[in-house]
Amino acid sequence: MKIICIGRNYVDHIKELGNERPTDPIIFMKPDTAILKNNDPFYFPDFSNDIHHEVEVLIRINKQGKSIEQKFAGDYYDKIGLGIDFTARDLQTLAKEKGLPWERAKAFNGSAPISKFIPKGDKDMTNLNFKLLKNGEEVQNGNTSLMLWPIDELISYVSRFFTLQIGDIIFTGTPRGVGSVKIGDRLTGYLEDQSMFDFEIK
């Protein structure tokens, strides 16, 4: 299985980091060793001093496909979830300054906590509310209507380059409000009003 991540998909997040607005979706990958499940704790790595949380809506692919037309993209996933794209911001900043890849900053062990997955059902995927609480205080709040590239468009775009396979997970981008975490923090994520994950930083 693959973890496919989309960067810079919310305008306010692009602005808060001072990044350039992309003309096409930015794609990067995480290995399966990045996954944390079942509310397992995240252990702060010794190679960074500045780990940031980035909460994101997830989709799980349930049908193999490539070069998928956007109008059929909804047939390729039936479950959604919530996750964190943990980012070693200090390492990412150095990589960006030197024009180097981001893998060390984005794809390290445990950098992709994921929630349980729930049926997509008849939910409007272009109008989903989600939020992240840190120690009980809301720090990120987003709605999928604010995406530069909606989910079905992302599926179509990504599938031009990578064959999507059953079990693949797509991280669809983070809204504004990213920030640092420290040992002892607790992160709780909600999709609409449903609690999706609740874990500790150790």
**Statement: residue 11 has pLDDT above 80:** no
Alpha carbons 59 and 3: distance in angstroms, whole number: 10
User: Which domain CATH number covers 85?
Assistant: 3.90.850.10
Q: Is the pLDDT of residue 13 over 90?
A: no
Q: How many domains does the structure of the chain reveal?
A: 1
Kindly indicate the confidence band of residue 104, based on its pLDDT and cuts at 50, 70 and 90: very high
Instruction: State residue 16's pLDDT score.
Output: 73
Residue 142: domain span: 3-200
Q: Is 187 helix (H, G, I), strand (E, B) or coil?
A: strand
Distance CA(196)–CA(201), nearest Å, equals: 17
Q: 14 pLDDT exceeds 80?
A: no
Give, rounded to a whole angstrom, the gap between the first and last alpha carbons of the chain. Answer: 27
Angle at 151 between CA 147 and CA 157, to 5 degrees: 105
For 63-88, what is each residue's pLDDT tens digit? 999 999 999 999 999 999 999 999 99
- In a 3-state reduction of DSSP, which class is residue 94? helix
Mean pLDDT taken over the chain: 95
Classify residue 199 by burial, with Cβ atoms within 10 Å: 0-12, 13-18, 19+: buried
pTM of the model: 0.95
Q: Does residue 19 register a pLDDT over 90? A: no
**Could you report the per-residue pLDDT of 171-180, keeping only the tens digit for each?**
999 999 999 9
